[in-house]
Structure 1
Amino acid sequence: MSREEKLVSDPISSTRMVGRVLVVESDNPPVNALGHAVRKGLHDAAKAAESPDVDAVVIACKGRTFHAGADIREFGKPPQAPGLGEVIDAFEALQKPVVAAIHGTALGGGLEVALGCDYRVAAPSAKIGLPEVKLGLLPGAGGTQRLPRLIGAVAALGPIVTGEPIPAKKAKEMGAIDEIIEGDLVEGAVAFARKLVADKAPLRPLSKMDAPKTDMAAFDEAAAKLLRRSRGLKAPSVNAQAVKNAVTLPFAEGMKKEREYFLDLVSGEESKAQRHAFFAEREAAKVPGVTKDVKARPINKMAVLGAGTMGGGITMSFASAGIPVTIIDLNPEALDRGMKIIEKNYRATQARGGLTEAQVDKALANITPSSNFDDVADADMVIEAVFENMDLKKKIFKDLDAKCKPGCVLASNTSTLDVDEIAAVTSRPQDVLGMHFFSPANVMRLLEIVRGDKTAPDVLKTAMEVGKKGGKVPVVVGVCYGFVGNRMLHARGAQVRKLLLEGASPVEVDGALTKFGMAMGPLQMSDMAGLDVGWRIRQETGAKDPVGDALHEMGRHGQKTKAGYYLYEEGSRTPIPDPEVDALIAKVAKEQGIKRREIDEKEVFERLMFSMINEAAKILDEGIALRPSDIDVIYLYGYGFPMGKGGPMFYADSVTPAYIADRLNIYADNTGDEELRPCPYLARLAEQGTTFAADAAAGSKAA
């Protein structure tokens, strides 16, 4: 047994000798973030490793993960020495092998620490990555310079420009990991280090190496392909340039550029917005009444009612996460059609390289199709995903109440309807809530969880946890028509209809928002969803849309019929303006006595955006959303709001509620549309000269 001697121990870091190998372990729960205390502990350990009694060093972490990144709470604050780069340089300068022992995730600064080591070993379940681009940043401690030198510039582009993590097995194939350790990781790392010493293995400081020979044409092509997905964000292109610098510049110059890029990005509005989104997503998990001692109910089997687009997508989300799902549709033909679409979607993902054949087969094996409603009886959770009709949903929930076992969570995928009214037809309203998925449900990450008046805390926690397991970002909202996302969308939709009749064209309406950075405009979105869907909802609610109704009656249902607000060529989703639609809009306006005029882009944009923000202020005032940042998460993950703008409420604060209220008053005065008048809460914020975030932080909500 090896001689083991503990040298230094404190709550954050410890060092111990295992024979002549110095083991350095950090312990900074929950993710061993590289805050000041951790950096100091590592730097002190590097100094201790200079001792002639030390032959090699192993850097490891206690707890559930290796260093999972920097402590981003330090961003914007005066730096405290030692910086992460100084820590990495100290280990890289040691004239003895340094081995990183990675478990959990080595992300951002954590991977940069590992890249400052000569060798890297990992547990089989480990992942590595440089996700800084998702915060509008780039790796600031040599990641863009060392990783290309280790695995090649083209291979390094993907993980750096997209921020996606790499599993240990793939990382080893790429050359980023030297060995996968089965069993005790630290013991295996110590044995690996001893073998390096015995074999007199070379030291491998990446700062002293050149990147492998690179085909620059291939590099530029790969970069261009990745950047097409970035939707105009600045950080991805800056990251790509930094990687290119690793090939074209000496290490010191590449590092200097990396630092310049980092400082420029960290002070920019895009990164501030993306960092806000990062914290907002985590804040959304904090729900009043759902404390740590509330235990989620076990969900070992799920049933989904309805094999249509939503039901199929919901089924895929949970089957892919390893939960057995029975998908039930009383129409055998619809069930068969739904199962074929599910398999087709899985195989398409497999063909793109998103899933292996084994993963697809495993997911499909988790799905059991059924036309027997009685098969809900042994489910732990049932998600209803049928047509948006209150009478139909109430009938289904009455039947579920009779068929489902006690404690089964009963969820409706309603996008607008009153969850309390649905729950009231059961004898167990405490088990009922809304789980509003977004189409396509197997792709879109947002999950609006609608908390009913009588929804039990453990049911709410169950929905949140199972949502996360299914790859969703859950946000808890209250009961009202449309909840948060669709209610705001309906307010914008009213302005879309009015702007069209007042003189704006479909291209001008959509262009005002796509220029801002939205994935698509409201009319393009309608065409994608299907104008028949909107028409059916209006039949249910009694809402009016004379242009939309006329298009529906003409058989123009959007992309599915190759004609809606736009025309579409066969096999294409690209909208083509149609003079026939412009003529229809002009005709409807004339019939309603509306005198059309030229409307500038600023008015179009502000009426669309500010009407949503005004509605969001009402939602906050009513307590339907818990906090402004929850609304941001909903729009970032469910409605294509540009990540670089941080969400509608973050954007509202950046332009100020005072400005928004002033513009809304002007538009209300000019058009006579009182729906544009600022609500009392927005007006109060404007009068006080404060912001939504500041008001929420002060704890006053919207009182």
Structure 2
Amino acid sequence: MGSSPKGRTTLDVGADGVAVITIINPPVNSLSLDVLNSLKQSYDEALRRNDVKAIVVTGANGKFSGGFDITAFGGIQTGKEEQPKPGFIAVEILTKTVEAARKPSVAAIDGLALGGGLEVAMACHARICTSVAQLGLPELQLGVLPGFGGTQRLPRLVGLSESLQMMLTSKPVKGEEALGLGLVDAVVSPNELVATARRWALDILEGRRPWVASLYKTDKLEPLGEAREIFKFARAQTKKQAPNLTHPLVCIDVVEEGVVSGPLAGLWKEAEAFQELLHADTCKSLVHIFFAQRGTSKVPGITDRGLMPRQVRNVAVVGGGLMGSGIATALVLSNYSVILKEVNDKFLQAGIGRVKANLQSRVKKGNMTQEKFEKTMSLLKGVLDYESFKDVDMVIEAVIENVSLKQQIFADLERSCPPHCILATNTSTIDLNLVGEKTRSRDRIIGAHFFSPAHIMPLLEIVRTQHTSPQAIVDLLDVGKKIKKTPVVVGNCTGFAVNRMFFPYTMAAMLLVEHGADLYQIDKVITKFGMPMGPFRLADLVGFGVAIATGAQFVQNFPERTYKSMLTPLLQEDKRLGEATRKGFYLYDDRRKASPDPELKKYVEKARSISGVSIDPKLVKLPEKDIVEMTFLPVVNEACRVLDEGIAVKAADLDIASVMGMGFPPYRGGIMFWADSLGSKYIYSRLEEWSKLYGGFFKPCAYLANRAARGIPLGAPSGQAKSRM
């Protein structure tokens, strides 16, 4: 089950009588079942041998262990054969072998000690780490809880409040902080690490240092009355922050069990809870997202050709508006030297000012030193012409969505930049073939579509045309990785993948409102489903100018499946342009807090009369489930077209695009994964029924009809199901 070659541990006994057990399973020494079994064998041997007095556990190549092997989850979840139960194995190995051993052991921690890695270390009788080591229990990010004793040992080492915070936020701590918390016993330099741990282990043996079994430590646990208050507070916070998730609450219950009924009862409850959560939908969804995110940078026919990314040192950004300055910020933060070009000095100073403000907000929050701020700012240079473009390796154009302006810029770029320079555009909707129409360099033209704010949003859509060279794609994938974005490579069409998939999202909501549903109720339900905000609140945030301009692109290109509502144009006529003007679908106070506006009714009535739509009583009191499905199933329908046309390489890429580009809840696994939990037959029948009632907007596409007829998941690779028969 481990990665091949099999993960293992080695045992090396020194002249001092200390056995060093090393975990080896590259790249992060993950704890596959092979590694855990090998750890038990190495321990048994060390305990048997008379020449071994004490034990040190460490990891190969400067990493202790990144935790339990997530690739094993899939095997355990499908449960095809009688599966081993990780939690119960851990009790056997960590509690009954490591912690109960009659020879003391010390963990020597460098690099990562995350999840199961930290749990192995906590079962040892002391811990020594380096200052850069990261120690944490991030299991909740995968929909499970620490399953190797972490819920019981961490609270006993650092106290309840700190341990709950570490588990519930999944944030690791570094060396000095871990020492302050009592999680480790000393912090030393990497070259002294193992030697210090060996001496420490012998000191424990000879009574010079305490021999501590973490599981039975009680001095850090708060008294029961106080503990109950801490649990109460943690539960309240969790319900507020993650109302749709149960596994954080299960984690709190398991910690409480150990405090109230003792650590062994806690361990058994933890093992059972881990097993149960492993099979729950949340865990399956989050594990899917974990692998999907790692899979976006693998593009068949592009990344498997053995091409090496070329060195990109200097990048130019054309346009210093909100997007351009955000892109420039992301680049300088990752040490690229950036030239920012604007048409006049006033615009240029404003653009540089935005980058400065973006960086200053990091200084204010304590995420950046003043010195680092000055160094980062010095990487940015402002210009008003193309003179200095002769040395750039890549240009990203980020001006307004105007075809002829972009064509002019690309003709200028072709003249001013060196022949190897990548010519990228940040357009969100315009066809790239149009952008590069007046150039001869179509092989270097590529889309680099950032999401706003560009220095914060994690997604980068890389758009290729049939002319874009594989080398340019590989280069941009590399830049994307270096500026800490998750790149998704997509084909060229109106709206590409994210905006195209989601264009029916707001339109569906408008259709519901015109047919009688309550606008504010829709936003409430969609937020409850797990989106950061509903479609109307989002439209206010983005601003109606942008919303109408992009909407027009889709109406023009897909007239048969768009819903044209007059609601937004009517609001726009009355200078209600969204949050920026303090009035849109909502009213906004000085602190930008949104509240419903009773005035909105008259706009809805007017839009309804223009559309010639009458109120449908069925939609007036629509159940929550129907609101969610009528809003998202048209998105799924469009996502199916995006897959069918080959715009996206695989369904998992659309899942990542929906989570990182639109805020679709990751614990639902992304748009296609969620759709497949409903089933293609069900989705087809719902859309078919609505299209009879409300028109072509809901009409299921051929790909969806085809999959439903054959009962095949929408996200299954087309090798398993040819969509065109």
Q: Scaled by the length of structure 2, what TM-score is found?
A: 0.89
1:681 aligns with 2:686: no
Cα 1:154/1:326, change in 2 over 3 Å? farther
2:90 counterpart residue number: 84
Equivalent pair of 2:21/2:58 in contact (CA under 8 Å): yes
Q: 1:168 aligns with which of 166, 171, 175?
A: 175
What residue in structure 1 maps to residue 606 of structure 2? 587
The match for 2:149 among 142, 145, 151 is 142
**Do the aligned residues in 2 keep the contact of 1:95 with 1:203 (CA within 8 Å)?**
no
Structure 1 residue 462 and structure 2 residue 475: aligned? yes
Q: 1:343, 1:224 → 2: CA distance?
A: 38
Once the two structures are superposed, residues 222-272 of structure 1 have per-residue CA deviations (whole angstroms, 9 ceiling, x without a partner) of 664566443532223333444444544421122223223323322221111
Look up the equivalent residue of 1:383 and give its one-letter code.
I
- Cα 1:157–1:334 change in 2 (3 A) is farther
Counterparts of residues 528-567 of structure 1 (less than 5 Å): 528-537=541-550, 545-567=565-587
Q: Give deviations 1:267-311, integer Å, cap 9, x for gaps.
A: 221111111111211222211121272211112232222222222
**Residue number among 5, 13, 18 corresponding to 1:17 in the alignment:** 13
SS at match of 1:327: strand
Q: Does the 8 A contact of 1:207 with 1:251 survive in 2?
A: yes
How big is the shift at 1:134? Answer: 0.8
Judged with a 3 Å threshold, the aligned counterparts in structure 2 of structure 1 residues 573 and 282 are, in CA distance, closer, same or farther, namely same
Partner of 1:181: 189
The alpha-carbon distance between structure 1 residues 395 and 541, as it changes in their structure 2 partners (threshold 3 A), is farther
Q: Which of the numbers 274, 285, 289 marks the counterpart of 2:297?
A: 285
- Which of 115, 123, 148 aligns to 2:122? It is 115
| Structure 2 residue aligned with 1:631 | 654
What residue number does 2:31 align with? 34
Q: Which among 207, 217, 229 is matched to residue 215 of structure 2?
A: 207
Cα distance in 2 for partners of 1:526, 1:242 equals 42
Q: Secondary structure at the match of 1:410?
A: strand
Give 5+ residue unaligned stretches, structure 1. 1-8
Supply the distance in 1 between the matched residues of 2:14 and 2:40 (Cα, whole angstroms): 20
Does the 8 A contact of 2:231 with 2:252 survive in 1? no
Deviation, structure 1 residue 129: 1.8
More moved, 355-364 vs 146-155? 355-364
Relative to structure 1, is the Cα distance of residues 92 and 529 closer, same or farther in structure 2, using a 3 angstrom cutoff? same
Q: Distance in 2 between matches of 1:330 and 1:170?
A: 49
Compare 193-202 and 684-693 and name the one that shifted more: 193-202
Q: 1:248 to 1:413 in 2, by over 3 A?
A: farther
2:40 is matched with 43
1:596 Cα deviation after fit: 2.1
**Per-residue deviation, 1:408:** 2.2
SS state of the match for residue 150, structure 1? helix
Change (3 A) 1:559 1:384: same
CA displacement at 1:84 relative to structure 2: 2.9
For residues 445-500 of structure 1, what are the alpha-carbon distances to aligned partners after superposition, in whole Å with 9 as ceiling and x for unaligned? 11111122222223212222221222211111111101111011112233233222
Residues 177-576 of structure 1: pairs in structure 2 closer than 5 A: 177=184, 178-183=186-191, 185-187=193-195, 189-190=197-198, 192-193=200-201, 200-210=208-218, 212-214=220-222, 215-216=226-227, 217=229, 220-221=232-233, 224-225=236-237, 228-230=240-242, 232-289=244-301, 290-291=303-304, 293-357=306-370, 359-537=372-550, 545-574=565-594, 576=595
Asked if 1 retains the 8 angstrom alpha-carbon contact of 2:258 and 2:264, the reply is no
TM superposition shift of 1:36: 1.6
Query: Is the contact made by 2:401 and 2:427 (CA closer than 8 Å) also made in structure 1?
Result: yes
**Which one of the candidate residues 675, 684, 688 is aligned to 1:665?**
688
Shift of 1:571: 0.7
Aligned-pair CA distance for 1:678? 1.1
Which residue number in structure 2 is paired with residue 3 of structure 1? Answer: none
- 2:64, 2:112 within 8 Å by CA — same for their partners in 1? yes
Pairwise CA distance, 1:219: 6.4
Structure 1: distance between partners of 2:13 and 2:56: 10
CA distance in 2, matches of 1:624, 1:488: 11
Aligned residues: 693
- Preserved CA contact (<8 Å) 1:158 1:226: no
Q: Indicate the SS of the match to 1:183.
A: helix
- Aligned AA for 2:120? V
Contact 1:120 1:179 in 2 (8 A): no
Post-superposition shift, 1:211? Answer: 5.5
Distance (whole Å) between structure 2 residues aligned to residue 226 and residue 180 of structure 1:
36
Identity %: 34
Structure 1, 548-557 or 133-142: larger mean CA deviation: 548-557
Q: 1:328 to 1:221 in 2, by over 3 A?
A: farther
Aligned 8 A contact 1:133 1:161 in 2: yes
Cα distance in 2 for partners of 1:36, 1:72 equals 11
Give the superposition deviation at 1:681: 0.8
Go from structure 1 to structure 2 and tell me whether the alpha carbon gap of 1:494 and 1:173 turns closer, same or farther (over 3 Å shift).
same
Partner deviation per Cα, 1:66-109 (whole Å, 9 max, x = no partner):
32121223232401788233222211122333222223322211
**Residues 649-664 of structure 1: matches in 2 within 5 Å?**
649-664=672-687
Structure 2 SS opposite 1:298 = coil
Retained in 2: the 8 A contact 1:620–1:701? no
Deviation at 1:365, TM superposition (A): 4.1
Q: Distance in 2 between matches of 1:202 and 1:618?
A: 65
User: Which secondary structure does the structure 2 equivalent of 1:99 belong to?
Assistant: strand
Structure 1 position 524, deviation (Å) = 0.8
Give the C-alpha shift of residue 357 in structure 1: 4.8
Q: Is the 8 A contact 2:650 2:717 kept in 1?
A: no
Residues 591-606 of structure 1 aligned to structure 2 (within 5 Å): 591-598=610-617, 599=619, 600-601=622-623, 602-606=625-629
Q: What does residue 4 of structure 1 align with?
A: none
Are residues 65 and 213 of structure 1, via their aligned partners in 2, closer, same or farther at CA, if it must alter by over 3 Å?
Answer: closer
> What is the CA deviation profile of residues 419-448 of structure 1, one whole-angstrom value per residue up to 9, with x for unaligned ones?
233244333322221111111222211111
For 1:17, give the aligned amino acid: V
Contact 2:200/2:209 (<8 A) preserved: no
Deviations 1:586-642 (CA, angstroms, capped at 9, x unpaired): 112113322122312454432221111111111111001111111111111111111
- 8 Å CA contact 2:7–2:34 kept in 1: the answer is no
Which residue type is aligned with residue 62 of structure 1? A
- Provide the alpha-carbon RMSD of the alignment: 2.7
Q: Equivalents in 2 of 1:582, 1:10: separation in Å?
A: 66
In structure 2, list runs of 5 or more residues that go unmatched. Answer: 557-563
Aligned to 2:613, the other structure's residue is in SS state coil
Alpha carbons of 1:372 and 1:176: their partners in 2 closer, same or farther (altered >3 Å)?
A: farther
The reply on whether 1:644 has 2:667 as its aligned counterpart is yes
Contact 2:494 2:553 in 1 (8 A): no
Contact 1:381 1:411 (8 Å CA) reproduced: yes
What's the CA shift for 1:540? 6.6
Query: Which shifted more, 349-358 or 279-288?
Result: 349-358
Q: Is the 8 A contact 1:559 1:573 kept in 2?
A: no
CA distance in 2, matches of 1:457, 1:64: 35
**Cross-structure match for 2:65:** 67
- Tell me, what secondary structure is at the counterpart of 1:635? helix
Rounded to whole Å, the distance in 1 between the matches of 2:92 and 2:191 is 32
Quick one: structure 1 residues 287 and 344, their matched pair in 2 at CA, closer, same or farther if it must change by over 3 Å? same
Farther-moved stretch of structure 1 (661-670 vs 504-513): 504-513
What corresponds to 1:5 in structure 2?
Answer: none
In terms of mean alpha carbon deviation, does 691-700 or 65-74 score higher? 691-700
Maintained 8 Å contact 2:90/2:149: no
Distance 1:404 1:171, change over 3 A: farther
- 3-state secondary structure, aligned to 1:48: helix
